[in-house]
Structure 1
Amino acid sequence: MTLSRKFCARCVQRRTVLLPKLVTYIGTSRISQTSCVHYPKTVRVTTYPDIKTRLAQTNFKSKKLFNIPLTAQEMRKPWEYPTQVDQYAEWKHKRWYDILYRKWVETCPKPDRDFTITRKSKRDILFQAENVRELLKLYLDRFHNKKYVIESFNFEFPAPNISYYYQYLTHTKYVHGMPFNIEHAPVDEKHLNSLREFVNDRLLLRDHEMRSTEQNAFTKRKLDEKLMTETISYLVAILSSSNPQLTSCEIDLKPENSMFWLRGRGFLKWTLPEDLPVAYQCHDTPLIQIRTSEQLPEFTPRLEEMSCSGGIPTFHTTPHVFRRPLVKYRNTITPGYRPNGGDIDPNYQHALDADKLEELSPPIYNPHPYGHTQLSLLPIHYSRDWYNENMEHCDITDEIDEHLKGHGIMSGWVWTAAQAHYAGHWMDKDITQPFCSQNIVTDGQFMSFFCYQLNTIAIDPDNVDDNPYRNLCYGKTDVKLYEENTENGVIEINDEALKMLIKFVSNGKSIQNNVEATEEEILEHDRKLIVQEPDIENPELEHQMPIQKVRTAELKRLAKEKQEQEEYEKLPYRKKLTKMIGMS
Structure 2
Amino acid sequence: MYTGLQKSLPNCSINILKFVIRKYAVDTLKETGDVIYPPISDLSYRARIRRKDDVWYNKIKKIETVEEKLIGLNMPHYYGWKSLYLEEGNVPYNSLNHAQYITHTHVLNDNKLPEFYNSLITTEELNSLAQNMKKYIEDIIIFEYCHRLREQYISDEELHKEKIIQNAVTNAVVFQINRMMLAALSSIQTHLLDTEIDFEPRIETFWFAGGIERSPIAKRQRRRIKYLKKYADDPINIPVQYLGSPILQLRHSSPLREVISPIDCANPELTIPKFEFDPRVLGYRFSYRHATCIPGFWPGDAAEFGLLSYHSTNKSYFHSAYKEKEAITVQAIFASYSWLLSQAVYQGFTTVQDVTYPLVAQTVLTNGQYWSFCVYQLNTTLSHSEYADNNPMRNMCWITEPMPLFEKVEDGKVYGFNEDVLKTLITFYINRPEQKNEYMTPYLGESVKHIADIADVEQRTWLESTFKHLMSNRPRHVKKPEIYHWQKIYKIDNKTRPMDKKRDPWEFGWSGMKRRLNQHAPRYVPKCLRENPKLKKIGRFAKQYYPDA
Residue from 86, 106, 114 that aligns with 1:150: 86
Q: One-letter code of the match for 2:309?
A: Q
Q: Deviations over 1:61-109 (max 9, x none)?
A: xxxxxxxxxxxxxxxxxxxxxxxxxxxxxxxxxxxxxxxxxxxxxxxxx
Structure 1 equivalent of residue 103 of structure 2: 170
Tell me which residue corresponds to 2:209: 263
Please tell me whether the aligned partners of residues 147 and 327 of structure 1 are also in contact (alpha carbons under 8 angstroms): yes
Q: In the alignment, does 2:349 pair up with 1:425?
A: yes
Does the CA-based 8 Å contact 1:148-1:326 persist in structure 2? yes
2:162 is aligned with 1:230: no
Q: Can you list the C-alpha shifts for 1:271-304, whole angstroms capped at 9, x where unaligned?
A: 7886441111111110010000010001111112
Q: 1:249 aligns with which of 169, 192, 195?
A: 195
Alignment deviations for residues 34-72 of structure 1 (CA, whole Å, 9 cap, x no partner): xxxxxxxxxxxxxxxxxxxxxxxxxxxxxxxxxxxxxxx
| Shift in CA distance, 117/328, structure 1 to aligned 2, threshold 3 Å | farther
Is residue 416 from structure 1 mapped to residue 340 from structure 2 by the alignment? Answer: yes
| Cross-structure match for 2:144 | 206
CA contact (8 A) 1:290 1:371 kept: yes
Tell me what 1:577 maps to.
none
Q: CA deviation at 1:325?
A: 1.2
**Residues 163 and 409 in structure 1, CA contact (< 8 A), matched pair in contact too:** no
Q: What code does the residue aligned with 2:69 have?
A: L
Number of aligned residue pairs: give it.
Answer: 358
The superposition leaves residues 159-195 of structure 1 with CA deviations (integer Å, 9 ceiling, x where unpaired) of 42x2222111100000131111223432533421232
Q: Distance in 2 between matches of 1:205 and 1:491?
A: 14
Structure 2 unmatched runs, 5+: 1-47, 152-158, 223-227, 435-549
- For the structure 1 residues 135 and 307, does the alpha-carbon distance in structure 2 shift closer, same or farther, using more than 3 Å as the test? farther
State the secondary structure of the residue aligned to 2:348.
coil
2:57 to 119, 123, 130: 123
1:134 to 60, 68, 76: 68
| Number of the residue aligned with 1:553 | none
Give me the whole-angstrom Cα distance separating, in 1, the residues matched to 2:376 and 2:321: 25
Structure 1 residues 305 and 129, CA, compared in 2 at 3 Å: closer, same or farther?
closer
> Is contact 2:204-2:342 (8 Å) kept?
yes
Alignment of 1:279-298 (within 5 A): 279-298=239-258
2:115 alignment counterpart: 180
Higher helix share: 2
Query: Structure 1's 171 and 302: CA in aligned 2 closer, same or farther, altered over 3 A?
Result: same
| Aligned residue in 2 for 1:472 | 396
CA distance in 1, matches of 2:51, 2:84: 16
Contact in 2 for aligned 1:255/1:288 (Cα 8 Å):
yes
Alpha-carbon RMSD:
2.6
Q: Please list, as runs of the form range in 1=range in 2, the aligned pairs for 1:278-427 lying within 5 A after superposition.
A: 278-304=238-264, 309-339=269-299, 365-380=300-315, 387=319, 396-427=320-351
- State TM-score, norm by structure 2: 0.61
Cα 1:208–1:127 change in 2 (3 A) is closer
Residue in structure 2 matched with residue 452 of structure 1 by the alignment: 376
**Residues 198 and 116 from structure 1, CA distance in 2 versus in 1: closer, same or farther, beyond 3 angstroms?**
farther
| SS in structure 2 at match of 1:469 | coil
Q: 1:201 and 1:117 mapped to 2: Cα distance?
A: 62
Query: Taking CA–CA contacts closer than 8 Å with sequence separation of 6 or more, which of the two structures ends up with the larger relative contact order?
Result: 2
- 1:166 corresponds to which letter in structure 2? A
Q: Is the 8 A contact 2:83 2:287 kept in 1?
A: yes
Q: Is the 8 A contact 1:148 1:325 kept in 2?
A: yes
Read off the aligned partner of 1:373 and give its amino acid letter. Answer: L
Alignment of structure 1 residues 466-545 onto 2, 5 Å: 466-509=390-433
User: With structure 1 as the length reference, what TM-score do the two structures score?
Assistant: 0.57
Amino acid of the structure 2 residue aligned with 1:201: D
Q: 2:260 corresponds to which letter in structure 1?
A: T
Q: Which amino acid aligns with 2:283?
A: R
Q: For each residue in 1:379-402, what CA deviation from the matched residue of structure 2 results, as whole angstroms up to 9, or x when unmatched?
A: 35x57xx75xxxxxxxx3110010
TM-fit CA distance, 1:242: 2.3
Whether the aligned pair in 1 keeps the contact of 2:126 and 2:423 (CA below 8 Å) is no
The answer for the alignment partner of 2:365 in structure 1 is 441
Residue by residue, what CA displacement relative to the aligned partner does 1:228-281 show, whole Å, maximum 9, x if unpaired? 111012212222222232221100000011111111244367478864411111
Q: Distance in 1 between matches of 2:262 and 2:347?
A: 18
Structure 1: segments with no counterpart, 5+ residues: 1-113, 340-364, 388-395, 511-584
Q: Is the 8 A contact 1:173 1:312 kept in 2?
A: yes
Matched letter for residue 277 of structure 2:
T
Matches within 5 A, 1:189-200: 189-200=127-138
Please give the alpha-carbon distance, in whole angstroms, between the structure 2 residues aligned to 1:145 and 1:488: 53
Alignment partners' CA distance in 2, 1:240 and 1:448? 24
Aligned partners of 1:224 and 1:444 also within 8 Å? yes
Deviations 1:295-327 (A, max 9, x none): 000111111257664211111210111121111
In 2, distance between residues paired with 1:320 and 1:420? 28
Q: What is the one-letter code of the residue matched to 1:371? A: G
2:265 and 2:393 in contact (8 A); partners too: no
Q: Is the 8 A contact 1:117 1:139 kept in 2?
A: no
* Structure 1 residues 479 and 464, CA gap change in structure 2 (3 angstroms): same
